[in-house]
């Protein structure tokens, strides 16, 4: 599972299907926060994290961790300015230039990207030869490519389309049972040596393959579109059939070789509560679906003041605000960003704020701006 725990270990523009829920009436004071200013400030933060090669530093300034950097890059797409699009293109180029061969990958899987170490004094980048996950790690860049294409920038669109073969190479890890981490049940192991199928990782796999299918369709490659659409749907169906717990009315956080890992959101934030909203954020199901409503309710009941960062984890997890937007809770999403400003702006946006959080938060701000929040 790709979680913030890996950070400390050092290894680590369409509306949602079903539409945005009706905005609830404001029952409490809403934050006075300029979302456009937020976008500009976080864009500055990310630009300052980019090094000459195009890589994005984070979570620590000596880390180049592509999984988290892709979430950051999606924030650059959400900003959609001349400067952010240039930075996004530079990052995508860096990523595509660093794909492992089968010989370079620790598990013999081509198309992965390792975490790298960055030396600020020399600018040298050194591969660690490791990464936190194969499944989510190879599919989150497809979401980045999708977002890049959706900016409408011709150069970004060309960059993505010229490299579809590389994205297809990445997809082999999660599409072929004999080559990567996909199981016959439709779910993926996090890594070949980690016999756990996490609900969060598999949600990323679904969304990544969905995005790759969309890109193939834009290129007129309908055979490939059909293939990746089928793989995405296989993943989505397996997530629902295997990891949805009907009795508990929530998502089990994973499945091992023989054992289902059931969730108790009130017992622990990570992974029990944390895993409940990724299916909302990544659009496994429409926001109005009963499972989306039930799992978001389970998360919210366990963490009723999440928007004030009152939960048992040191990282702000701004992706939960994006889930809130999906569920129609625009004021709560805005409150979370306002709380982050109060908490982190005074220390120069230092850890636990990092580039991945900035990226998620910019996606939130873009949705709020587009929804006319605060106007």
The pLDDT, as a whole number, for residue 375 is 72
The pLDDT, as a whole number, for residue 30 is 64
- Strand segments (E) across the chain: 63-64, 116-118, 125-127, 197-198, 244-245, 250-251, 254-255, 260-261
The pLDDT, as a whole number, for residue 194 is 87
The pLDDT, as a whole number, for residue 179 is 75
| Gyration radius of the chain's alpha carbons | 19
Measure the N-to-C terminal CA separation of the chain; round to a whole number of Å.
Answer: 39
Class of domain 32-370: mainly alpha
Measure the CA–CA gap between 285 and 282, rounded to whole angstroms.
Answer: 8
Which helix H or strand E contains 296, and what residues bound it?
helix 290-302
pLDDT per residue as tens digits for the range 95-106: 999 999 999 999
Q: What is the DSSP letter of 259?
A: -
The pLDDT, as a whole number, for residue 181 is 95
The pLDDT, as a whole number, for residue 32 is 82
Residue 61 tokens read as 């300034």
pTM, 2 dp = 0.92
Q: How many helices (H) and strands (E) does the chain have?
A: 14, 8
| Cβ burial, residue 370 (10 Å; 0-12/13-18/19+) | middle
pLDDT per residue as tens digits for the range 155-186: 999 999 999 999 999 999 999 988 789 999 99
Decide: helix, strand or coil at residue 50: strand
Instruction: List, for the chain, all residue ranges whose pLDDT scores fall below the cut of 50.
Output: 2-28
The pLDDT, as a whole number, for residue 29 is 55
- 102 and 109 in contact (C-beta within 8 Å)? yes
Query: In 10 A of CB 41, how many CB atoms?
Result: 17
The pLDDT, as a whole number, for residue 180 is 80
């Amino acid at each position: 599972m790709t979680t913030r725990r890996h950070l400390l270990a050092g290894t680590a523009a369409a509306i949602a299907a079903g539409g945005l829920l009706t905005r609830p009436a404001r029952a409490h004071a809403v934050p006075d926060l300029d979302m456009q200013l937020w976008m500009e400030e976080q864009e500055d933060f990310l630009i300052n994290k980019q090094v000459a090669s195009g890589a994005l530093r984070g979570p620590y300034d000596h880390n180049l961790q592509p999984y988290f950097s892709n979430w950051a890059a999606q924030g650059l797409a959400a900003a959609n300015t001349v400067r952010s699009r240039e930075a996004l293109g530079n990052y995508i180029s860096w990523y595509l230039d660093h794909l492992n061969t089968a010989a370079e990958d620790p598990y013999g899987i081509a198309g992965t990207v390792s975490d790298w170490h960055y030396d600020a004094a020399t600018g040298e980048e050194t591969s660690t030869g490791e990464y936190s996950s194969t499944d989510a790690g190879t599919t989150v860049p497809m979401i980045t490519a999708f977002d890049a294409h959706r900016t409408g920038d011709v150069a970004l669109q060309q960059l993505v389309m010229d490299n579809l073969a590389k994205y297809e190479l990445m997809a082999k890890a999660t599409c072929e049972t004999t080559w990567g981490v996909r199981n016959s049940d439709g779910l993926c192991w996090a890594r070949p040596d980690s016999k756990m199928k996490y609900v969060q990782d598999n949600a990323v796999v679904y969304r990544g393959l969905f995005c790759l299918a969309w890109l193939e369709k834009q290129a007129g490659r309908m055979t490939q579109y059909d293939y990746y659409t089928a793989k995405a749907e296989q993943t989505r169906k397996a997530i629902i059939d295997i990891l949805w717990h009907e009795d508990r009315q929530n998502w089990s956080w994973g499945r091992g070789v023989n054992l289902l890992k059931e969730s108790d959101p009130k017992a622990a934030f990570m992974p029990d509560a944390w895993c409940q909203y990724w299916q909302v954020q990544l659009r496994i199901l429409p926001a109005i679906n009963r499972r989306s409503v039930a799992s978001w309710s389970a998360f919210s009941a366990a963490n009723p003041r999440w928007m004030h960062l009152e939960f048992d984890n040191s990282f702000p997890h701004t992706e939960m605000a994006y889930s809130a937007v999906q569920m129609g809770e625009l004021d709560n999403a805005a409150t979370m960003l306002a709380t982050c400003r109060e908490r982190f702006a005074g220390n120069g946006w230092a850890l636990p704020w990092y580039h991945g959080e900035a990226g998620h938060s910019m996606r939130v701000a873009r949705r709020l701006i587009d929804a006319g929040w605060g106007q």
